[in-house]
Structure 1
């Protein structure tokens, strides 16, 4: 962590900093605009500040402090995975998904409306080979192109950035590669929001023209780093200009975090990683269930004051023969009865050293149909970047020697 980093300070903190330097409060507003609206790379680039003031900041070793993209990998479906290096040398992974993965469908938001008509059948999204075929067709199909925004100029409607909140993860979900890293440390608010700024800069994104969605679903558990997570949300909303309605945070089920989240005035949409239909199975795949069981989590979710048309998303990773049978679907229907819920089914993304298998396509189709027939909007998340270990549950700080597709850009 860099204690001299300016990126990550809110307006009040910048005002205090400039006050100690004997500067007027408007200087803090100029710095805030430069950091978050303009996304400057260095103090020297802040031309709204006088040269003498920039020199003072540089002399005091104040830096912008954005994470550095040191390696990148590109999937056949256009997804990009970045190895991000922080000031202390620790690294996390961040993912860029042009046109997203369909995770917003059915949650009532503006982002969900944009996804209408772009659903993928269970059979078409189950295997990596089939997914590649779908995206090959999608990438070559005629799509609206215009000069209005960087994404549109490249033929995309929108993009989703998947952000990490911790170096590693302490939750130990048995189907997830990130769990094998253990936990190193929390990321600061600047390091979390900085991943977004670094990716936006890489792609030349123009806020107000390009449609960007954010998912806090990368490495780590956001609600175990709650203060920095929620501060990063405010910086992204107030500074960079991404509305919270275009953000989704995923939690494995940290009860105190859900309770704090319910009281927030500015908050993303919530996605709870359910991943099982009863406590016995969930304890097997998510040991954290021993601390807070499903009933406790659902009770907390019911206390969230949902906005008009807002739905809670329940993520459900389908593991072959473990949680993907009709009996499990019936139990999910019973659990979610009376909750304004939608379900995202995620076909498990394989990883080395993890002893699970993908579900059969026909089991996925039956599971989805049973939930839909039971009155729950249910979608299958499109797998993005499986070939470069960028899909859900696959992030693990891959380095060049482990993954030949990676290209160093340091």
Structure 2
């Protein structure tokens, strides 16, 4: 299998970042109550806050001047008080041969964060018991020539991969993002704002279009727990994306998993397992020294699942490291002990310069998947999307040229 990452990028647009972004009070990211509190500074009635929420989260305006239901005097007073919309701006966009787009989004402080648009998704939700998973399995059957309904004309089906931090502190050895280290946490507005900016670019509308979110971009969401959950609530309540169309992936931050299990509204959960025993996992994921596999699985058992919902276990296959049949047998033994509905997503490692691993053989991937299936563990292979533009799983490193 050819990695494809040595191919040149197609840069769709690349305006210069502002040299000295103005410190301001962003409105995007505030809840309804917080918007009402902000409007109270100007003695504005609560219905002005509702107009503001509609403009921010449904119309996805970029400037205060676009809030036309407001009188000009109110817009000027709000601006003079230091407020701005604060929606992240797409600074650069790269397009893959497969239609995937990767974006560098400008956020506060002159920094950028990465977000990915995957038309038709990557089959990551297949088999997870949700409507999104059913759609992906139907899409896969249609691709194989089986019967099924076509996508309604004029509607889109896509997955947006969202970041929760700039960089990452977890330091997984197979991941390019780890090379950045951790730069900072994103705010709730910066997390949800990635989704809004991409929806605006593609004229996509939740409800009309089938939009799925995966919080699997840069960063570990459960190390920025409060902002991540605030963003998820905002996306459900204001943007209109159901939590059953969202999946969050964690490397195994046990306190975060336990907090997540108690949330009344939450996305689906995916665990980055990536090894069948602690020895191998620690060698590729140092976080295992803090929370071993047993501790992670014990925490996952606390999760109250919705009807038909399955926990997803992500497993990056590294050639010669964790891709043997013996490893598959160990995975079966581990997962049988959980006693929860689950599935496994197999991810063929996506290469990048300076990462000392290689891709597994296609035959080994197939054999690993079949072993799990034969032992009663639902297993799916996630399609690599955007590998040629560093948009695939584990490749996000703010790359703006053909050399990472």
TM-score by length of 1: 0.89
Instruction: Please tell me whether the aligned partners of residues 280 and 322 of structure 2 are also in contact (alpha carbons under 8 angstroms).
Output: yes
Partner of 1:393: 394
Secondary structure, aligned partner of 1:207: coil
Secondary structure, aligned partner of 1:54: helix
Partner of 1:279: 278
The structural deviation recorded for 1:281 is 0.3
State how far apart, in whole Å, the 2-side matches of 1:360 and 1:400 are: 28
Partner of 1:343: 344
After TM superposition, the runs of 4+ consecutive aligned structure 1 residues lying more than 3 A away are 117-120, 142-145, 400-403
**Cα RMSD between the aligned structures?**
1.8
Equivalent residue for 2:130, pick from 88, 101, 109: 109
Matched, 1:313 2:312: yes
The aligned runs of 1:67-146 (5 Å cut-off) are 67-119=88-140, 144=151, 146=153
Partner of 1:164: 163
State how far apart, in whole Å, the 2-side matches of 1:87 and 1:296 are: 37
Question: Structure 1 401/98 Cα, relative in aligned 2: closer, same or farther at 3 Å?
Answer: closer
Partner of 1:18: 39
Equivalent residue for 1:55, pick from 67, 73, 76: 76
Unmatched runs of 5 consecutive residues or more in structure 2: 1-20
Task: Render the CA deviation track for 1:330-362: whole Å, top value 9, x for unaligned.
Answer: 110000002311000000000100000111111
The aligned runs of 1:218-237 (5 Å cut-off) are 218-237=217-236
The structural deviation recorded for 1:223 is 0.3
Secondary structure, aligned partner of 1:116: helix
Secondary structure, aligned partner of 1:113: helix
The structural deviation recorded for 1:20 is 2.2
Equivalent residue for 1:34, pick from 49, 52, 55: 55
Matched, 1:210 2:209: yes
Unmatched runs of 5 consecutive residues or more in structure 1: 121-133, 152-157, 404-410
Partner of 2:261: 262
State how far apart, in whole Å, the 1-side matches of 2:216 and 2:282 are: 21
Residue-pair matches, total: 377
State how far apart, in whole Å, the 2-side matches of 1:95 and 1:216 are: 11
The structural deviation recorded for 1:118 is 3.5
Task: Render the CA deviation track for 1:236-279: whole Å, top value 9, x for unaligned.
Answer: 01111001000000000001100100000110000000000000
Partner of 1:195: 194
Secondary structure, aligned partner of 1:7: coil
The structural deviation recorded for 1:3 is 5.0
State how far apart, in whole Å, the 2-side matches of 1:74 and 1:401 are: 13
TM-score by length of 2: 0.90
State how far apart, in whole Å, the 1-side matches of 2:270 and 2:332 are: 17
Report which stretch shifted further, 203-212 or 241-250. Answer: 203-212
The structural deviation recorded for 1:143 is 5.9
State how far apart, in whole Å, the 2-side matches of 1:317 and 1:193 are: 27
State how far apart, in whole Å, the 1-side matches of 2:193 and 2:93 are: 17
Partner of 1:123: none
State how far apart, in whole Å, the 2-side matches of 1:19 and 1:353 are: 53
State how far apart, in whole Å, the 1-side matches of 2:267 and 2:245 are: 7
Partner of 1:8: 29
State how far apart, in whole Å, the 2-side matches of 1:92 and 1:41 are: 18
Secondary structure, aligned partner of 1:56: helix
Partner of 2:240: 241
The structural deviation recorded for 1:144 is 4.6
Question: Structure 1 3/374 Cα, relative in aligned 2: closer, same or farther at 3 Å?
Answer: farther
State how far apart, in whole Å, the 1-side matches of 2:178 and 2:101 are: 21
Secondary structure, aligned partner of 1:371: helix
Task: Render the CA deviation track for 1:29-48: whole Å, top value 9, x for unaligned.
Answer: 11111110111111111112
Question: Structure 1 144/290 Cα, relative in aligned 2: closer, same or farther at 3 Å?
Answer: closer
State how far apart, in whole Å, the 2-side matches of 1:339 and 1:320 are: 29
Partner of 2:372: 371
Secondary structure, aligned partner of 1:185: strand
State how far apart, in whole Å, the 1-side matches of 2:402 and 2:39 are: 45
Matched, 1:253 2:252: yes
